[in-house]
Structures are given as structure tokens and as C-alpha cells.
A = this chain, B = another copy of it.
Amino acid sequence: VAWPNKSSLYILRTDGKSCTRELVTGKGKLAFAYPSTQQHLLVWRNQPKSVMVIKKLGDELLEEFVKVVEFLAVERGMKVIVEPVTYDHCLNAHAWLRDHVYTWDAEDDGRLAEHVDFVICLGGDGVILHANYLFQSSIPPVIAFNLGSLGFMTNHDYQSFREDLDSVIFGSQELESCSFMEDFGLVAPDRTGDRDSDNLGVMVTLRMRLKCEVYRNGCDIPHLTYDVLNELVIDRGPNAFLTKIECYERGRFITRVQADGIMLSTPTGSTAYSVSAGGSMVHPNVPAILLTPICAHSLSFRPILLPDYAELELRIPEDARCPAWVCFDGRSRQELGLGDSVRIKMSDTPMPTINKADLTGDWFESLDRCFRWSDRAEQRPLT
């Protein structure tokens, strides 16, 4: 397959006080310049040409998938890349797609980020976690469509996929109404201008990921590296009790954790497993790492939030009674033996997700949709 060149893009950053503009060229990584609370705008320098479409496994969304592919390939003239399993699956059913759809060989697994302009997810939050898994070293912007199941990050309706995808490709008309843009006098960057000049781009959320490295006892080279989008969990697995986990920050001993488990979560993950364990819900623009105990034995061991510069290590003591288990975004579950440890810090490469309106609106809308957050406030008949 002949890959197209990846388009360059701008990220405009503002923290409410200042505003910086950053050019990300084709092979560059989209990375945090400052860990701070910022809203971000994505602006393409050239129109994007290649797009990956990821769908939930199985037959159920095949029809919707084909419509999206057809729109992108035929109407918008883009190269559409799909996963090998989806490639086989959909060519069987729709042979005419052969001219429009591409896939890749296993040897190119690590180079996808160099070639894909943006990613479309069809399904629930699980599909986004899968996208995160595919793009471990660096990940292009992601737009997620809600198809049936509830999802915290799937903030786009399938019904309007044409309009929403055009917003990503050409920029969105609605930018003028984003209050923070007006507040800070933002103007459009230089563009080749094949569309209306007031289409600046689209709002994105730069979602923090946590870089997790598993070190086996006595070995300096990480046995495994995983950038999680939601959370890393260490728990007791099939054991009746969790051994006491030692917790360090930059080499300083912090505490010995006695609990069913311990979780380090991103703000994105705060509304997933962490909230079930009693954590607060954290807006994805807050640059923090959540340390949430799971059924802590001490009543005073409450969830805590650390700055994004924290560098943590969770270690199974060499004299522990039993091993523990580690899990990354609910995947790749494996045992941690005595003396093993996991080091966790903020990843250089966040996942940019396309917003529907702007960031604050999307987040509160997700709270309502997934937790009926403010809904009940209206109705509960307390006495």
C-alpha cells in the first residue's frame, strides 16, 4: 500500500492568560508543551487525506461502517484504512470496497501514527480504548460516534456523521461561538483557503495518557510498556488478600497500600473504573493523576489527586505473602511477582479527541448522559 503523506496541523493552546500556536508537521508527535489547564483548537494546514475507521468487532455495525467508508472514500476522496480483521470481514460482504479500503501488515504496527491523519471510532468507549492500544507511541486525533451503547467519550451522533466529519476535515462553522476564542482574540492561522475563512478548525481535548512500565525483579529494562488512556490497576487477582503494595514518588516512599487494589487513573479514566471505587469526576483538562484505592482497609485512605509531574512506582515487596496482578485499561492482565514493580508517569503523547461543541459542554453532557448527573436533581422527592 502506498501511504499518503500525513497532513500538518496546528494546535492553539490557551490557558486563560496566554495563547501559543504550535505547528505539528507530518512525522511530528502531538505532545504536551506545558502540563497545564488549557483548551485546544485543532487547525489543519492542509486538508487531511487518510483516515482510519475502527469498528466494534462482529457484524452488528457493518451497515453503518460501510456508509461511513463510502462517504469518506467516494464523496470526500480520502484513503480509508481499516484493521486487518475488519478488512477481511468487510471485503467478504462488500467486494466493491476493495478499491477504497486499505489495511496494513503486522510489521507496520508501530508506524501507523506516521500515516493516519485522524481516526474514526464506531461503537462505545471500548473502541476508543482499542484505538489507544493501536497507537501506543503517538496517536492522531480521534472522533467517536455513539452507536447504541452509552459511552462517555462517544459524543457524536451517528445520524449527523456527514456534518461532523466535514467539521473535522474542513473546520467547523461554529467556532465563532466558542466563548474562550473570542475572549482571547484568536484569529485563523495561514491556510490554503479552499473553504470559508471563518472555519478555523475544531475543538479538541488533549487527553492525558499514563506511561506504565513493568519491571521484573532485578532487571533494569522494562518487560512491558503500555500507555493507558483510562487507568492502571494492581489488584489481588484470584488471591484472597492483596499483599501490601509499596508506593513511591520519585524514589521517595509514600505509603504501603492495604486494600483490594490500587488504581492510577487519568482524568479521562476518572469517570470509568475510578468513580466506581469512590473517586471524584475530573474534567479532562485538569492535569492530574488520580490515585484511587479499591476497598482500602483504612477508612482514612481516601482517593487523592497528584500533579501531572508526579512519577510513581508501585512495588511488590520481595518478602510479600503472595503475588499481585496488573491490568492496563482492562487489558493485558498479568501477574506481578515478588520484587516486580510498575513505574507510572504522564505520557508525552496525549490522545486528541474531537469535541462536539466545546470541551466544557461536551463533558457536562456526558455526565448527564452516562450518570444522569443533573437529571435526578430535578426530580428526587426528598420527603
Q: Please report which residues of chain A, range 366-383, place their CB below 8 angstroms from some CB of chain B when the two chains form the complex.
A: 367, 370-383
Mark interface residues in A59-77 (1 if CB within 8 Å of B CB, else 0). 0000000000000000000
Q: Please report which residues of chain A, range 282-308, place their CB below 8 angstroms from some CB of chain B when the two chains form the complex.
A: 282-283, 285-288, 290, 294-308
A36 CB within 8 Å of chain B: yes
Return the chain B residue nearest A250 by Cβ.
B179
Q: How far is the CA of A294 from the CA of B129 in the complex (A)?
A: 24
Q: How far is the CA of A216 from the CA of B250 in the complex (A)?
A: 49
A281 CB within 8 Å of chain B: yes
Return the chain B residue nearest A359 by Cβ.
B307
Contacts of A352 in B (CB 8 A): none
Return the chain B residue nearest A371 by Cβ.
B300
Contacts A282-B305, A286-B307 given: A371-B299 contact, CB under 8 Å? yes
Contact assessment for B295 and A273 in the assembled complex, using a CB-CB cutoff below 8 Å? yes
Contacts A230-B383, A309-B16, A383-B329 given: A376-B299 contact, CB under 8 Å? yes
A58 CB within 8 Å of chain B: no
Q: How far is the CA of A16 from the CA of B345 in the complex (A)?
A: 11
Stoichiometry, copies per complex: 4
A111 CB within 8 Å of chain B: no
Interface size on A, residues (CB 8 A): 97
Contact assessment for B381 and A125 in the assembled complex, using a CB-CB cutoff below 8 Å? yes
The residue among A126, A310, A371, A377 with the most chain B CB atoms within 10 A of its own CB is: A377
A26 CB within 8 Å of chain B: no
Q: How far is the CA of A180 from the CA of B249 in the complex (A)?
A: 12
**Stretch of A43-51, A97-105, A219-227, A256-264 lying at the B interface:** A256-264
Contact assessment for A373 and B301 in the assembled complex, using a CB-CB cutoff below 8 Å? yes
Contact assessment for A382 and B280 in the assembled complex, using a CB-CB cutoff below 8 Å? no
A96 CB within 8 Å of chain B: no
Contacts of A35 in B (CB 8 A): 15-17, 36-37
Can you name 10 A-B residue pairings with CB atoms under 8 Å?
A15-B34, A18-B34, A37-B308, A125-B383, A230-B383, A276-B297, A281-B303, A286-B287, A301-B373, A372-B372
